[in-house]
Amino acid sequence: MKITDTIRRAGRSLRQAKVRTLLTSLAIAVGGFTLTLALAAGAGSRQYADKIISSNIDPQMLMIAKDKSLFGEGDAGSTFGVGGLREYSDNATQYSGLTLEALSSTDLEKIEKRSDIEKVTPTYLVNAQYVTFAKKADKKYTSDITVFDTSVKPEIVAGSLPDGKQQIRDDEVVVPEAFLQTLGVTDKQAFIGSTVTLHLAKMPTQLSESEMQDIIAREGLAGLQKYTQVEARDVALKVRAVSKQSVTSLSASSALFISENTARELSDYLTKGTDQYRSYVSVMALVKAGTDPVTVKEALAKDKIYAMTAKDAQGILFTIVNLIQGIVIGFGVLALIASIFGIINTQYISVLERTQQIGLMKALGMRGRDVSKLFRYEAAWIGFLGGAIGALLAWGVGMALNPWITDTIGLGEGNYLLVFQPLPIAILLVSLIVVAVLAGYFPARKASKLDPIEALRTE
Amino acid sequence: MIEVKNVTKTYGKKEHLFTALKDVSFTIPSGTSVAILGKSGSGKSTLMHAMSGLDRPQAGEVVIDGQDILRLKAKEVDKFRARTIGFIFQSFFVQGNESVSDNVSLPLEIADVARSKRKAKIQAALESVELLDKLHGKAKNLSGGQKQRLAIARAIVNEPQIIFADEPTGNLDSVTGEKVEDMLFGYNKEKGVTLIIVTHDADLAAKCDMQINIKDGQIESIRDSRATKTTGKVRVI
C-alpha cells in the first residue's frame, strides 16, 4: 500500500469519528499549549535580557575584580549577597555590606599594562549626601552617581552628547528624564545648562586612642575637634543633557552621569585617608576591538584576577530564565504524558470498533505492517491536530495578553514577554507527532496482529 | 486450476482436538463455478479459508496454477490474495461511512495499483454491477442488495482469477438474491473467472458447474454437472 493512500485512509477514519478525534487531540493540545507558551516566554525573556545587556554593557567590556564572589561564583558556589566564612585579606573592602577583596595597585598595573586592553575605568564609588537642583533649590534629593559610559550611550530627549567616544566635560552632568518629573520640570530645553549641586560629606578619619592623645597634646581639644569634624564639599555641575526614560537601560534611567575625571576626583576626595583610598572592588576594562574578551578573561584568571564579560552577565540572567522555562516545560511534559494514555485508550477502542474493517483489509491482502502504519498515521494526525490547536491557541492567547503583560510588569513599550518563533513551534509540532505515534504503537500492533478469520466471523 | 491435496486442519490440542478438515482432496478447473455445500459447522468455511490462503492447514497442499500457496511466506500469500483473489461475504463488509468509490478503491490500493489507473477500473467495476450512479454516495445509504453488488464490484475491480463468495445471498431476499447470483454467474462466464461459492442453499448450489458436498470435515460427494451440460467451457488462465 502506498504511503499517500495510507495517510489518506487514516485521515478519513479520523474524520468519521470527529468528536473522538477532537477530544483526543485536545488532550495533546493542552500539552502543546503549555509548551508553546513556555517556549515563547523563554524566547521573549532572552530577547528582553539581551536588550538590557546590550543597552547597558558594551560587548567588548570586561568587569574585572579580585573577588570572584562579586560575580556569584564564589568558592562555595555562593551567590552574590550570600556570605560565608572567608579568609581574611588585608586588601578587603566593605562593599554593600559585604567584605570583598579589592584589586591591589599591582593588579591594576597588570591590567593597565595589557596590550589588548584599550582603557581601564575603575568603578568609582561617589556617594553624595544629597543633591540639589537650581530649578528647585529648596529641596534636597538623593541619587546614584555614575560615570558617563562612552561606549553605551543613552538616548537623549534634550541637550546633546559629545561625538564619538568622547567624555562629557568635567563640570557637566547628564540627568535622567525621570528626575525631571520628580522635580516638576516640564520645559526640558530650559533645564539644560541649569546647575546641579552634589553635596559630599567626608566622614572624619578614624583615630586610635594614642593618635587622639598625640593631637590633644599638640593642638589641644580644638585641634581634635577639627580632625573629627565632618568635612563637606559642594560640587556644582551644569546639565548637559537629559537622558531618555528607558526600561532596558537601567543606569540611564536612575543615575546622574558625571565625567570620569570628576568621578575619580570625588572618589579620591571621599576616600582619602581611609583604607579604601584608590582601592577598587572592580574596574571596567574596554577590550580592544578584534580581541575576544573571553581570551583576556582567561589570561587574567591566571593572575588570579577575575573578569566577567557581557556574555557572562547575559548567562547569569539566562540561567534564571532557563530555570523558569524548565519548570513550565515540565508541566507541559506532564500534560503530554497524560495525553499519551488518552491516545492509547482511544486507539485501542478504535481498533476494537473496526475489527471487521481490519479483518477485511487483511483478507484482501493488506500486510500487517500496513495495517499498523494506518493506525500509526492516525495517531500522527491526532498529534499534529493537537499540536496545531495548542500552538494556535497559545499564539492567540499570547498575542492578546502581550500588551497587558508588558503593561503590568513594566517591560517598556515594544518589549513583549511572549515571543513566538516559527522554528521552535515547528520542532514542537514534529515532536508531538512523534509522541503521538509512539503512543499509538501498542494499539497499532494489536491491529496488525488481528486474525482476519476471527475478525470476519459473523456467526 | 486449483488442486486441493490431502488437506487436514485441526483446532485445539489433545483431548480438545477438533478436526475441521480431514484429508480433503479435489481439483477445480479454471473458469468453473463451484459450490461448496454443507451445513453449518461442516468445515466448508475452513476449506474456503485454506483455499484462499487466509488459513494454514496442518497438512496437505493447495496448488493454484502450479504453486502451493501453503508453502508461501506470509508476505507472498498476502500479495497472492491481493492480486488473484476476490472476496464476497454474507454480511457484505462494506464500509458504510466511506463513499462507494472509496470502498471499491480499497483492493486497488492494497495491490499497489497506480493511482492513474484506478478511476477507470472503479468505474468499470461499478458499471458492471449497475451502481455507477452511486459512485460518490455513501455506502451506508445503499439497500442490502446494492451493498452486496458493491461488494461484488470490490471483488472484481482488480480482475481476480478466483472469486470466493461466502453465502453471498444469505442476507438477501429471493428477488435481490437472484440478481446478485445472476451477476456473479454472468461475470464467471463472461471473464472465465473461477467462482467458488460457499453455501448451504441447495438451489444456489444447483446453478453451479460443480458441487462439493462437505460433511464433518470430509468430502461426501462431488458432482460435476459440466460433464452433462454443454454450456460450460473450460479455459486455462
Show the 3-state SS of A222-276.
HHHHHHHCCEEEEEEEEEEEEECCCCCCHHHHHEEEECHHHHHHHHHHHHCCCCC
What pLDDT, on a 0 to 100 scale, did the predictor assign at position A249? Answer: 67
CA-to-CA distance for A282 and A100, rounded, in angstroms? Answer: 10
Q: Does B1 touch chain A (CB under 8 A)?
A: no
d(CA B202, CA B212): 11
Contacts of B81 in chain A (CB under 8 A): 363-365
Q: Pairing relation of β-strands B2-11 and B59-64? A: antiparallel
Q: Look at A247 and A181; give whichever has higher pLDDT.
A: A181
Say if the Cβ atoms of A357 and B95 lie within 8 Å: yes
Helix (H, G, I), strand (E, B) or coil at A280: strand
pLDDT of residue A87: 62
Main-chain phi, psi angles of A279, to 5 degrees: -120, 125
- Chain A residue numbers with beta carbons less than 8 Å from the beta carbon of B54 are 363, 452-453
If one compares A1 and A4, the residue with the highest pLDDT of the two is: A4
Looking at CA atoms only, how far is residue A2 from chain B in angstroms?
6
Computed over every residue of chain A, the mean pLDDT equals: 84
Q: What pLDDT score was predicted for residue A251?
A: 65
> Is some CB atom of chain A closer than 8 A to the CB atom of B55?
yes
**pLDDT band for position A72 (cuts 50, 70, 90):** low
Cα–Cα distance, B96 to B103 (Å, whole number) = 9
Question: What pLDDT tens digit does each residue of chain B (237 aa) get?
Answer: 899 999 999 988 888 889 999 999 999 999 999 999 999 889 999 999 999 999 999 999 999 999 999 999 999 999 999 999 999 999 999 999 899 999 999 999 999 999 999 999 999 999 999 999 999 999 999 999 999 999 999 999 999 999 999 999 988 999 999 999 999 999 999 999 999 999 999 999 999 999 999 999 999 999 987 655 444 444 444
Residues A85 and A48 in one domain: no
Same domain, A243 and A340: no
Chain A residues whose beta carbon lies within 8 Å of the beta carbon of residue B106: 360-361, 364
Give the number of domains in chain A.
Answer: 2
The pLDDT value recorded for residue A458 is 56
B82 contacts in A (CB within 8 Å)?
364-366
Q: Where are the domains of chain B?
A: 34-52+82-227
Q: Is the pLDDT of residue A6 over 60?
A: yes
Domain that holds residue A72: 61-308
Is the Cβ of B111 closer than 8 Å to some Cβ of chain A? yes
Which is more confidently placed, A227 or A36?
A36
Residues comprising chain A, all counted:
459
Q: How far is A443 from chain B (nearest CA, A)?
A: 21
Considering A258, A284, A308, which residue would you say is the last residue of a domain? A308
**A195 and A255 inside one domain:** yes
What count of Cα atoms within 13 Å lies in the side-chain half-sphere of residue A103? 28
For residue A52, give the C-alpha cell. 538590557
Both A333 and A244 in one domain: the answer is no
Which value, in Å, is the radius of gyration of the alpha carbons in chain A?
A: 34
CA–CA dist A239, A197 (Å, integer): 10
| CA distances to A385, B26, B162 from B201, in Å | 51, 21, 21
Which range scores top for mean pLDDT: A140-144, A357-361, B222-226?
A: A357-361
Point out the domain boundary residue: A279, A308, A337.
Answer: A308
What angle in degrees, to the nearest 10, is found between the helix axes of A368-409 and A18-54? 40
Average pLDDT over residues A299-306: 85
Of residues B58 and A83, the one with the higher pLDDT is B58
Lowest mean pLDDT among A130-139, A382-391, B171-180: A130-139
DSSP 3-state of A87: coil
Closest-CA residue in chain A for B95?
A357
Instruction: State the average pLDDT over residues A5-19.
Output: 89
Question: Looking at A253, A280, A308, which one is the last position of a domain?
Answer: A308
Q: Are residues A303 and A335 in the same domain?
A: no
Across the interface, of A5, A363, A458, the residue whose CB is closest to B91 is: A458
Is the pLDDT at A245 greater than 80? The verdict is no
- At residue A76, the pLDDT reads 38
Those residues of chain A whose CB sits closer than 8 Å to some CB in chain B are 1-2, 5, 9, 12, 16, 356-357, 359-367, 370, 452-453, 456, 458-459
**Residue A359 scores a pLDDT above 70:** yes
Helix A368-409 vs helix A441-449: crossing angle, to nearest 10: 160
pTM, 2 dp? 0.70
Q: Which of B11, B46, B106, B148 to mutate to test the interface with A (most CBs of A within 10 A)?
A: B106
- In this structure, the answer to whether residues A21 and A143 fall within a common structural domain is no
- Looking at the structure, tell me whether residues A214 and A168 fall in a common domain: yes
pLDDT band at A309 (very low <50, low <70, confident <90, very high): confident
Spell out which residues of chain A touch residue B165, defining contact as CB-CB under 8 Å: none
Contact A197, A259 (CB under 8 A): no
Residues A337, A386, single domain; the answer is: yes
Q: Are residues A260 and A326 in the same domain?
A: no
Q: Which three cell numbers stand for residue B18?
A: 477438533
A116 in the same domain as A78: yes
Residue of B73, B94, B110 to mutate, interface with A, max A Cβ within 10 Å: B110
Which pLDDT score is estimated for B139?
A: 93
Task: State the average pLDDT over residues A415-430.
Answer: 92
Q: Which residues of B touch A452 (CB under 8 A)?
A: 54
Smallest Cβ distance to A363: which of B40, B83, B87?
Answer: B87
Question: In CATH, what number does B34-52+82-227 get?
Answer: 3.40.50.300
Asked if A49 and A69 sit in the same domain, the reply is: no
Cα distances (Å, whole numbers) of residue A292 to A59, A60, A113, A197, A311: 9, 8, 17, 41, 11
Is pLDDT of A118 > 90?
A: no
Are the beta carbons of A453 and B49 separated by less than 8 Å? yes
